[in-house]
Chain A
């Protein structure tokens, strides 16, 4: 088997034979990613309403369903309606730390059984939650960022924030407020650079998922079909009064 040293030697030997096709540099990055990210956040304190409008338009264009409420205490009724319309009474969701609010307390008065993600990484919990998530028709998450340019939800995994909540249930509902909005992919890049520069966050988040509408395929005669493996529907509940969780 080839070793790392042998492989890299071969690469270097070839590199020495050429200076390349043309002088080139990779994309310029901020030397202070945290400050750059903070600057973007400050700008968006003013601009988020425009970003939201664009997000809604793009999200609906890719078959997302958009809901908007002013306060967090109106969210349970929206979730209950989504569940009732689909005739379902079970949900999985991120835990209190992940969402910033208590999904179980919010939905149980509406007769919906909630199985929140267990907080740790216990082996028995893992097996049980996988079963629950695979069976649940509804998955409720927050988001880290919502990208207006493309109608994309960006979710990092972590304790109490399993990857499967936005993947296995037929319907995924993401709840977020103004502070999650970003305008461009470039800004997402800045946020990811800042996250990576943060000593605590850099080691967390085994999966960061960009979700742009429901799961789709066009592999049979180019006919667009939704829900091939992941959710068939993606909903957003935007809460004007929900302040920063991330």
Chain B
């Protein structure tokens, strides 16, 4: 992997994030606000829990008949005059977009926010091929101008101050702009409005695709999703194949919980249902619509340990509540998808080996599972992932040796009791004030944490005394 971010090991990336005072402050403010907004939104929805159960059931039911729904979706999109492409890998997905650009002489593409296109690093590929991609979600636009990556699934630029954005805009867009979100938003509006009207291609992801009607569903707050699907002559949607859902009735269940989970809104400002290219007699809308259905590691998880992660709606709620994400932010994870679900999605897309460190970047507290709109059991899958890493000898040797030894100790009562006696003696030089404060070879643990010492008399010893 030639990625410069990944060249630094995860503990060092996380360490750097912890020392970044501004990032720390921004993360606390943003995640706390999202948590509060979500809580308020669900407080006024008494049927919220029942809706979440239904949403979870719909996702599972869809996976159980996935081949049927994918065929139905493809047939309906084609019946409406759209084109469907099948991509097994990120490379294939990129190649399909690039071919469309080549064949249709596309010079500029406007994009609405899409994790799927982030995942396949589409922008770099487009630039390389001489096509200018323009991110139009304000947060993504900022990130693109700054040559950075999103740090949160739904708030990509939360790590930047308005001062930094003002400097960035002033430099990149040649002007003098005040550090005021109103002013900066107006600047972006003016700048991007022209691009919407000029671009040949609009590129989106899809929050859902309704099999029964061949409808692609885009949820945005800014209206850029509407712009890119209304104004350019070609619309290309890149979608993970698991986003298909059976019907409009199902869609309503997801809409009722998606925005509430993400931003605490009852609905996002715009939910756009796209059915094919421009219909007969319609003045506006694209002449061509292309849907790219993408595997990229997803299909093998249908029967894999990460199956449940295929339910994910990409709302970002699990990031906000995660004690690890709240401390280190999105960039430290190093991949497209951060946070607890991001670890699982990274394992899905890049393989288990890529998360040998990240799999441990969780306290397993379960807050992610509690807030997930479709109740994905993230902690269970993280534990299973750790187990795989151990079995596959992917975890570092000293870690495996240590846990191997711990296992042998705990399997044998004789060894276990003996180790308590030996430990009591060995720990003596390191105990101060009733805690083990340093331990040779375990500095990584003891510099930030204390260990409880082995007790003078163990529980089993005291129990024997009592039983007498």
Q: Is the CB of A120 within 8 A of B283?
A: yes
In the assembled complex, the CB of B101 is this many whole angstroms from the nearest CB of chain A, namely 16
Q: Is the CB of A125 within 8 A of B283?
A: yes
Q: Is the CB of B223 within 8 A of A222?
A: no
Which residues from A are CB-within-8-Å of B268? 212
**Chain A residue at minimal CB-CB distance from B30:** A222
Q: Is the CB of B266 within 8 A of A217?
A: no
Q: Is the CB of B248 within 8 A of A193?
A: yes
Residues of chain B at interface, number, CB under 8 A = 105
**Chain B residue at minimal CB-CB distance from A9:** B67
Which residues from A are CB-within-8-Å of B226? 163, 167, 207, 209, 229-230
Of B80, B85, B197, B283, which one neighbours A126 at CB under 8 angstroms?
A: B283
Answer yes or no: A199 CB below 8 A from chain B CBs: no
In the assembled complex, the CB of B406 is this many whole angstroms from the nearest CB of chain A, namely 31
Answer yes or no: B66 CB below 8 A from chain A CBs: yes
Residues of chain A from 1 to 57 with CB closer than 8 A to chain B in the complex? 1-4, 6-8, 10-12, 14-15, 17-22, 24-29
A11 to B221, CA, bound (A): 34
In the assembled complex, the CB of B443 is this many whole angstroms from the nearest CB of chain A, namely 38
Q: Is the CB of B269 within 8 A of A188?
A: no
Answer yes or no: B390 CB below 8 A from chain A CBs: no
A219 to B137, CA, bound (A): 9
Which residues from B are CB-within-8-Å of A126? 283-284
Which residues from A are CB-within-8-Å of B266? 58, 149-151, 212
A145 to B98, CA, bound (A): 39
A120 to B281, CA, bound (A): 5
Per-position contact with A for B373-409: 1 when CB-CB < 8 Å, else 0?
A: 0000000000000000000000000000000000000
Residues of chain A from 92 to 107 with CB closer than 8 A to chain B in the complex? none
Which residues from A are CB-within-8-Å of B274? 206-207
Q: Is the CB of B281 within 8 A of A159?
A: yes
Stretch from B1-9, B188-196, B423-431, B449-457 at the A interface: B188-196
Answer yes or no: A71 CB below 8 A from chain B CBs: no
| Most chain B CB within a 10 A radius of its CB, from A1, A20, A149, A228 | A228
**Chain A residue at minimal CB-CB distance from B71:** A8
A151 to B269, CA, bound (A): 10
In the assembled complex, the CB of B399 is this many whole angstroms from the nearest CB of chain A, namely 30
Which residues from A are CB-within-8-Å of B138? 217, 219-220, 228
Answer yes or no: B368 CB below 8 A from chain A CBs: no
In the assembled complex, the CB of B103 is this many whole angstroms from the nearest CB of chain A, namely 14
**Chain A residue at minimal CB-CB distance from B143:** A219
Answer yes or no: A211 CB below 8 A from chain B CBs: yes
A117 to B284, CA, bound (A): 10
Top 4 A-B pairs, shortest CB-CB distance: A230-B223, A17-B303, A219-B139, A189-B252
Pairs across A and B, CB under 8 Å, 29 listed: A1-B86, A2-B92, A7-B293, A14-B300, A15-B302, A21-B60, A24-B57, A24-B64, A26-B62, A27-B54, A27-B249, A149-B266, A157-B282, A158-B281, A163-B284, A164-B231, A185-B252, A186-B249, A203-B280, A206-B274, A206-B279, A207-B229, A210-B271, A215-B221, A215-B222, A216-B221, A220-B184, A222-B155, A225-B185
Q: Name A's B-contacting residues (CB within 8 A).
A: 1-4, 6-8, 10-12, 14-15, 17-22, 24-29, 58, 62, 117-118, 120-121, 125-126, 129-130, 134, 149-152, 157-159, 162-164, 167, 185-186, 188-190, 192-193, 196, 202-223, 225, 227-231
